[in-house]
Amino acid sequence: MTDAPPAPYADALHRNAAGAWTRLGVPGHQDQPEHHPCLASLAGPELLAVDIPMFTEGVDLPEPGSTEPSPLQQAMGLAAEAWGARRTWFLTNGASQGNHVACLALRSLGGTAVVQRSVHTSVIDGAILAGLRLEFVLPSIDPALGIAHGVTAQDLDARLAAHPDAVAAYVVTPSYFGACADVDALREVAHARGIPLVVDEAWGSHFGFHPELPASALQRGADLVISSTHKLGGSLTQSAMLHLADGPFADLLEPLIVRAMTTVQTTSPSAVLFASLDLARRDIQLNGLAGVGASIADLERARSLLNERGRFVDPDPSIHAAPDVIALDPLRIVVDTRSGGTPGYVARRMLEEHHQIHVEMATDSCIVGLVGAGSRLDVDYFVDALHALPVMDLGEHPPIHLPPLAERAMDLREAYFSPTESVSASDAVGRISADSLAAYPPGVPNILPGEVLTQPIIDFLRSTAASPYGWVRGSLDPAVDHLRVIA
């Protein structure tokens, strides 16, 4: 372990916790497990000792009188080095915070950004916060599997040509299904127009740490990368990172990010979350080859066993065939359960009920599982459980065709703050939506605040909601009988 990379923040936190402090500040439990037994039962009394206030000298701040960077600064510096960034910020409100920061920073460059339509809701909220106008580029859709992928460089280029005032291109890769878009090509298109490429790499925080993993967005030249380290990167839930590349837009973006971080970061970020980021980085550096290699090997074996047994059609070739997809995350497994006689949403429920297997998500056609970097899977148990699923009489499975995008009648932010009313679905046609609604599958927002509701959009939302597997995110009621519109 002598060559082990350091974890300066976590080490400083442990040193601090070992001190015989009389704590007269926040947090109010003041590391007194005997007087807060219920809280201490959560994860042992040690948790209280490391839950220290922000701005603790020798942890978040330098030691008194020291000119050295503080352990927190050192930890963020080591993360920047590990991911290949000029600068990395630790986040305690998930990748959502990173998207809010990115939108606020971009707004200082101008009013418009070209954004993948299927960006996470935190990008839409970030745009509302910032007053950023969004113009959309559609992701490709697999109509049979009902899943959305990413965008092609060609489509991005066309949208940028139509919106020459755009100050950034903003995409999501990898997808929820682990499909990776061609970040090199997307970056070239954005840079050719003199604007930065922002990549929401929430699902790819582990990329680049093993030769069999896809290269990371930073390695492929993205300018600003939002990373949900807690997803597959191994840190605690809610902890994430924002990486600024050492590229042509770094000088421009850095002060804007610093300011935006101050706007949306809590003044009491959790030391436990910060330390988990420091340690997850250390773990992946320390165990990357062996640990991540073992995770990949487990999933490869699961895939090959499934293919050998032949009940389920391998969906990977179909995903790979999408025009935007250049690689698949090997730490994801998509199982087309429907091809083996069980709808995905039924498979998910039965795996939970009968085998205590929890998968990340399910659609009508498939389930999606993942193995975090360095975690392991009991492959035989999983594969046997899949083969224990009942073969059912499957109903119709219509391919998914998204309705045409709506016209925008009102600015996103203006719509967000306007008075609203609830109307029936039939009365909503032609009205301006106050909400963001996305039918799952495939989860691409069908309507955003400020856009005009059309009959095909409402029909699509309602028919998806009425199916046994579908649901509509953002809806007032599960059946989408009512919609919130601008009054």
Ligand X SMILES: Cc1ncc(COP(=O)(O)O)c(C=O)c1O
In the complex, the smallest distance separating the C-beta of residue 204 from ligand X, rounded to whole angstroms, is 10
Q: Report CA-CA distances (Å) from 466 to 170, 393, 459, 461, 480.
A: 33, 19, 10, 9, 9
- Nearest to ligand X of 71, 94 (CB atom): 94
In the complex, the smallest distance separating the C-beta of residue 105 from ligand X, rounded to whole angstroms, is 16
Alpha-carbon gap, residue 52 to 71, rounded angstroms: 14
Alpha-carbon gap, residue 153 to 151, rounded angstroms: 7
Contacts of 157 by beta carbon, 8 Å cutoff, 6+ apart: 189
Contacts of 210 by beta carbon, 8 Å cutoff, 6+ apart: 288, 289, 292, 293, 296
- Nearest to ligand X of 96, 342 (CB atom): 96
In the complex, the smallest distance separating the C-beta of residue 443 from ligand X, rounded to whole angstroms, is 9
**Residue at token pair 């699902």:** 203
In the complex, the smallest distance separating the C-beta of residue 444 from ligand X, rounded to whole angstroms, is 12
- Nearest to ligand X of 93, 433 (CB atom): 93
Counts of helices then strands in the chain (DSSP H, E): 18, 19
**Residue 147, SS3 per DSSP:** strand
Element (H, E) at 66: none
DSSP string, 229-270: HHHHS---TT-EEEEE-SSTTHHHHHHHHHHHHHHHS-SS--
Alpha-carbon gap, residue 196 to 480, rounded angstroms: 38
Q: Is the Cβ–Cβ distance between 364 and 344 less than 8 Å?
A: yes
In the complex, the smallest distance separating the C-beta of residue 255 from ligand X, rounded to whole angstroms, is 24
- Nearest to ligand X of 118, 420 (CB atom): 118
In the complex, the smallest distance separating the C-beta of residue 139 from ligand X, rounded to whole angstroms, is 11
- Nearest to ligand X of 242, 432 (CB atom): 242
In the complex, the smallest distance separating the C-beta of residue 177 from ligand X, rounded to whole angstroms, is 11
- Nearest to ligand X of 150, 288 (CB atom): 150
In the complex, the smallest distance separating the C-beta of residue 119 from ligand X, rounded to whole angstroms, is 7
- Nearest to ligand X of 70, 92 (CB atom): 92
Q: Report CA-CA distances (Å) from 351 to 52, 315, 345.
A: 40, 19, 10
Binding site for ligand X (CB under 6 A): 94-96, 99, 120, 122, 172, 200, 202, 228, 240
In the complex, the smallest distance separating the C-beta of residue 118 from ligand X, rounded to whole angstroms, is 8
DSSP string, 282-337: HHHHHHIIIIIHHHHHHHHHHHHHHHHH-SSB--HHHHHTSTTEEEE-TTEEEEBG
Residue showing the smallest CB distance to ligand X in the complex: 94
* Tokens describing residue 334: 């998509």
* Tokens describing residue 58: 């020798």
Alpha-carbon gap, residue 110 to 454, rounded angstroms: 30
- Nearest to ligand X of 120, 484 (CB atom): 120
> Tell me, what DSSP letter sits at residue 390?
P
- Nearest to ligand X of 122, 337 (CB atom): 122
In the complex, the smallest distance separating the C-beta of residue 432 from ligand X, rounded to whole angstroms, is 27
- Nearest to ligand X of 17, 319 (CB atom): 319
